[in-house]
Every structure is written in structure tokens, then in C-alpha cells.
Structure 1
Amino acid sequence: MRCARRAAMPEFTAAQQQLLRDHRLAWFAGRIIHDARPPISDTQLAEVEQRLGSRLPPELIALWRCAFGGRLDYELCVDYDGHLHPYSFNELFYPDSDGYHDLWGWLEHEQECAEEVAVENGEEWNGRVGFLPIGGFEYLERVYVCVEPEAFGAIYVWSRALPPAWPLRLHEDALTRVADDLCGLFELLGFDEDPFAEGADAGQELLEAVDELAASGAEGEALAQLLQSSLRPLVRDWRAALEQGRIAGEPELQRLALTHAVRSGDIALLEQLRDQGCDLGRLLTGGGNAPVHARVMQREVVIHWFAEQGVAEYQLDGDVA
């Protein structure tokens, strides 16, 4: 499978694989699934294909052979035509889950939508959908695997709009392609802040699950250390890039550093970023640049600093209140 070539996979022994299953953990494409469900059975796989009316991409089958459902605790930023959106990909759908909808419920939702579109276009619906929803977050975010021949296996993500009263958020529903396949999507998952740092928010559910594994004995502790070592390279470390003088060539790390500076009111950090040649006017999340974020967060000192640098507010039309 292509995932095995693209993600360095630890060589788990049979005993370690069983220990992972015992603690409801699974490994796929270099990422850890916690609260993992048992692998899909041949009967369940046949039922999915029958309900969908299509065969499934090999990467999706590989994922479900690892865990047919579970949770993810990584961070992902999606670019919706310039609007950078912090995307919640927390759930892997499965039948009979206790989420907003289970896998069958989301598939039925797509079927209903496809039928409505066909009726609106004066066509007879053929009973098929071209996209299978496989995960997301409640009713706000959904991840789709394309099963149409022209983009078979490609990954699309959808986000629901929020009311205009929510500044720096999407105010129109959005859909975009983010990866050629499921392995490519998993490669995008990482951490904007170090989950091992004191007071960190990201990745804490995952670390708690790994800690429970570590508490199960010597074998569990060794396996937990292996899993923890796989998480550290996934930190998008803008601090190291800044210290090494290479942040000007790392647009994503620039974005994270600027966001941190605005939120914390750190003028010294902003000056460092300026002196290293960073683009102070680049878009951050929500379709607005750093001065827009400073205004929304009411960081008066930061607002004045950007004005002194001649960096004006810029935002995508209609994206922020």
C-alpha cells in the first residue's frame, strides 16, 4: 500500500500489535488513532460497498483494516480559496456510533442530498453518491473520499458556515480538495504547538491514551515511548525556525508565529519576525491578516505597532465581521 512507503512505520511485533488493540489504539499512515474500534470485517466491508453502490479505494480499506472508527487528536488547517480555516477532524465515522450521525446516517444524508439535486435538475437519481463521508466533527466538518472514476480516492473536506456574528470564521459553506488520497490527508495532520509543553491544549486526549498504555507495565511503557517519539516530529516548530534564522522561508511557520505574537501581544517577537524578513501582512486564519486579528482581539499595542510599520488591515471580502 502507498501509505507504507510514504510514512515511516514502526516495526510492531505481534505482541505490541495486540497491546495496541487492548488499549484501543491503532497506527495508520504515521498517525495514531485512539479510542479505536476493531478492524472492519469482510461482511461489514461488503455492506458498505453495497450501500454505497461502489467499490472502495485501497487506502480507505487499509484504514478500516486498522480501525473501523475511532478518534484523532491532531491539528489541520484547510485553505478555502485563501480563507485559512482551523479544521476539526476528530471523528472517524462507524456504524452505530453515538455521534451526531453514524456512518450509515451520514451516507443516507448524502444520498438524500444527491436525490434532491437530481430532482432539481429534472433528472432521475441513479441511487449512487460520488463521495463517501468517513469522518469529521459533529455536523460542522466532514471528510469525504471520492469514489468517482475521475478522482477515485481523492480527499475533499467540507465545513459549515457560522453566522456573521462570529468574526474570522467561515460565513459560507465551503468545500475543497486537500489530498490525492487518504494517506496524503493523514500526512497533513500535526500540531501547531508542542503537545508535551506545559499548559498545551492540542493532543491531550491522545497523550492521555498513550499514558494509559505506558501505565500497563514494562512492555506498555516501551511501546508508549515509541508512539511518543512519533509525535515529536509532527510539531510545527516555528520557534526553532526563528532561532535558526530560516522562518522567512517557511510560510506556515510564519503564520503560526504571527498568530502567537498577536494573541500574546508580543512586540519583541513581531520585531524579530520583521527583522528576519517575514511577510507581516500575510493572511492568517479567517481570511484576515495580523492587523485584522489584532483589532478583533482588541490588542491595542499590537494595532499601533502594525500601523507604525505601515502594515494595513487586509481581509477577504465578506469573511470577517
Structure 2
Amino acid sequence: MPEFTPAQQQLLREHRLACFAGRIIHDAQPPISDAQLAEVELRLRSKLPPELVALWRCTFGGRLDYELCVDYDGHLHPYSFNELFYPDSDGYHDLWGWLEHEQECAAEVAEENGQEWDGCVGFLPIGGFEYLERVYVCVEPEEFGAIYAWSRALPPAWPLRLHQDALTRIADDLHGLFALLGFDDDPFVEGADAGQELLEALDELAASGAEGAALAQQLQDSLRPLVRDWRAALEQGNIAGAGELQRLALTHAVRSSDIELLEQLRAQGCDLGQLLTGGGNGPVHARVMQREAVIGWFAKQGVAEYQLDGDVA
């Protein structure tokens, strides 16, 4: 991420853009005030990790438009981390609402254990997606600043999705979390889904004049290295040494019934039976998506269906 001049920083603020830990936040809110920071700590009954304070000094809330995959004990889950909570947002809950939710849960747990709740919670929800995903910053001394992801279960009728609520630690701090954010597909390709809200925000910046156009180009250039480019790895012949890129390439091949791509991956020594998202491997995905040609191809290679215990395809 480039260094910004004061004039560029002002231009970013005018267009509700902010940069933190190498990622761009759009619909960025004003930085947290000293009074707001004191109120959060008072309600939480805890000091905040310095990385979180730094994020909120940059922007106290906003939206993210990257992709993230969370590993819940082998179940690879496409995780929606779209919103950074803030007071009085128009989301499912605002920051105060989610904090109150955690306080209510903590009080219930204490009551179930026959204890009197001390008014403290160990985890602060800072973002996520509606009521389905939440990102937490730990404020307990043993893991102060560590990042946890939580996802809500969906009914068994949803194939290749989580069917039990899940929680796991995903990063040591906020910088580690933001380093995980990227793009599984190139957002600059026509018809792409990921990153389009962010690119629209940059287009608005570019339309503001010559300075805005130059700054928007800088920011777009910073996005390109975040593409998880399995195609380049395949072309260079080194995809077998990159597990995440293998997974993305296999997923694309199954979804698009691309037998030629599957043959290329086999020839380069990729693990054809590895788990993809949802706790199932390629043959499971092929069956769920009714890709008959792909089902037959995997059968000829001797790659059988494999599904994690407890996951329903």
C-alpha cells in the first residue's frame, strides 16, 4: 500500500475510503473520538488491543469487499466479512447491539453455571455479516488481541455448508486477519463477482478529477497482488506446491466441468482428493452440482467421495 500525502488522505476521507494493514475499507466512517473510545472501554470493562485502536483511529466502521476462507477443523468455509461494526449503523445490529448480545450471552452462561456474572465479556464483536458471521477480538489477558471467527449453522437442506455453529481462532491480531483478505478470482475480469463494490467506490474516486484518478489507480494497483492466481501457478508448473491454489483450481474445474483443467492438475501432481469448501472433496462437489462428466472423470482416476464426519452433502 503506498504512502499518502496529506492531500491524498483528505481526498480519501471525502470519498469515504480508508486504508488499514494493506487493505481498503469503503463506506468508511469518521475516526473514533476519545469520548467514543472511552465509552467502548467502559461498556466492555476492558482496555482495547492497540491494533484495534489503530483501526478505529483510521475509521470507526465501514465495509470490506474481499474474500476469506476459514478452516473450522477441516471444514473450509467461505466466510463473509463484509462489515466493520460501528454505533448507529443500519446493519442487523450496530456495535452496541452486538456488545449487548455478548453481555446477555455471558450472563446466561453464568446463570446456567450457578455463578454471578461479573459484567465482563472476553470477546468484542467488531465485524462480520448480519447474524451469520462475526469476527471477535479477544480482550482476555491470555490471548489479548487474538482474532476469532464465528459462523452460524444452516439447516441440513443446505449442502456443503456448516450444519453446526463453529468458532475458531484465525489470527494473532488484526494485522494477521487483514493479511488473510484477498481475491479468489480476479476482480478486474469482466463478469467477476468479488470486489465489485470496492471497484465502484474507486471508480467514483477516479471520476473526481486528475488527482482522484491518479490515487484510484494507485489503489487499484495495490489490489492486483491480492489475487490468488492459480492460473499463473498452473502455467508456471508450480501449482502442486501451493495447496490453496490447488483447491481454487479444482473448485473451478468442477464447477465449470473443465475436464482439460482436471487433466492438467493431475499431470502436475496435484492432490485430486483434497477437501474443497464445505468439508467435501471434488467428487462430492461434482455430485451436489450434478456435474456428470466430472463425476465420471473422478471415478476413472479412482478418486472416491470423501466427506468430513458430521457434514451432510
Q: Which TM-score tier does this pair reach, normalised by the shorter chain?
A: over 0.9
For residues 56 and 121 of structure 1, the distance between their equivalents in structure 2, rounded to whole angstroms, comes to 28
Alignment: residue pair count = 313
- What corresponds to 1:159 in structure 2? 151
Shift of 1:182: 0.4
Residues 1:277 and 2:269 are matched in the alignment? yes
Pairwise mapping of residues 1-321 of structure 1 onto structure 2 (< 5 A)?
9-321=1-313
Shift of 1:11: 1.2
For residues 204 and 78 of structure 1, the distance between their equivalents in structure 2, rounded to whole angstroms, comes to 22
Shift of 1:317: 1.3
Deviation readout 1:162-182 (Å, 9 max, x if unpaired) = 000000000000000000000
For residues 254 and 198 of structure 1, the distance between their equivalents in structure 2, rounded to whole angstroms, comes to 23
2:255 maps to a residue whose letter is R
1:312 maps to a residue whose letter is A
Shift of 1:229: 0.7
Shift of 1:283: 0.1
Deviation readout 1:5-31 (Å, 9 max, x if unpaired) = xxxx41100000000000000000000
1:195 maps to a residue whose letter is P
What secondary structure, in the 3-state scheme, does the structure 1 residue paired with 2:294 have?
Answer: helix
- RMSD of the alignment, in Å? 0.4
Shift of 1:318: 2.0
For residues 260 and 296 of structure 1, the distance between their equivalents in structure 2, rounded to whole angstroms, comes to 14
Deviation readout 1:73-130 (Å, 9 max, x if unpaired) = 0000000000000000000000001100000000000000000000111111000000
What secondary structure, in the 3-state scheme, does the structure 1 residue paired with 2:303 have?
Answer: coil
For residues 304 and 103 of structure 1, the distance between their equivalents in structure 2, rounded to whole angstroms, comes to 50
8 Å Cα contact 1:247-1:253 kept in structure 2: yes
Identity of aligned residues (%): 88
What secondary structure, in the 3-state scheme, does the structure 2 residue paired with 1:295 have?
Answer: helix
* Gap runs ≥5 in structure 2: none
Query: TM-score, normalising length from structure 2?
Result: 1.00
8 Å Cα contact 1:286-1:320 kept in structure 2: no
For residues 118 and 169 of structure 1, the distance between their equivalents in structure 2, rounded to whole angstroms, comes to 31
For residues 314 and 60 of structure 1, the distance between their equivalents in structure 2, rounded to whole angstroms, comes to 40
What secondary structure, in the 3-state scheme, does the structure 2 residue paired with 1:286 have?
Answer: coil
1:262 maps to a residue whose letter is V
For residues 312 and 190 of structure 2, the distance between their equivalents in structure 1, rounded to whole angstroms, comes to 32
For residues 252 and 33 of structure 2, the distance between their equivalents in structure 1, rounded to whole angstroms, comes to 45
For residues 79 and 227 of structure 1, the distance between their equivalents in structure 2, rounded to whole angstroms, comes to 29
Large movers: runs of 4+ above 6 Å? none
- What corresponds to 1:5 in structure 2? none
For residues 267 and 11 of structure 1, the distance between their equivalents in structure 2, rounded to whole angstroms, comes to 45
Shift of 1:320: 2.1
For residues 167 and 138 of structure 1, the distance between their equivalents in structure 2, rounded to whole angstroms, comes to 21
For residues 191 and 46 of structure 1, the distance between their equivalents in structure 2, rounded to whole angstroms, comes to 36
For residues 317 and 10 of structure 1, the distance between their equivalents in structure 2, rounded to whole angstroms, comes to 46
For residues 203 and 181 of structure 2, the distance between their equivalents in structure 1, rounded to whole angstroms, comes to 21
For residues 238 and 115 of structure 2, the distance between their equivalents in structure 1, rounded to whole angstroms, comes to 55
8 Å Cα contact 1:85-1:286 kept in structure 2: yes
For residues 198 and 105 of structure 1, the distance between their equivalents in structure 2, rounded to whole angstroms, comes to 39
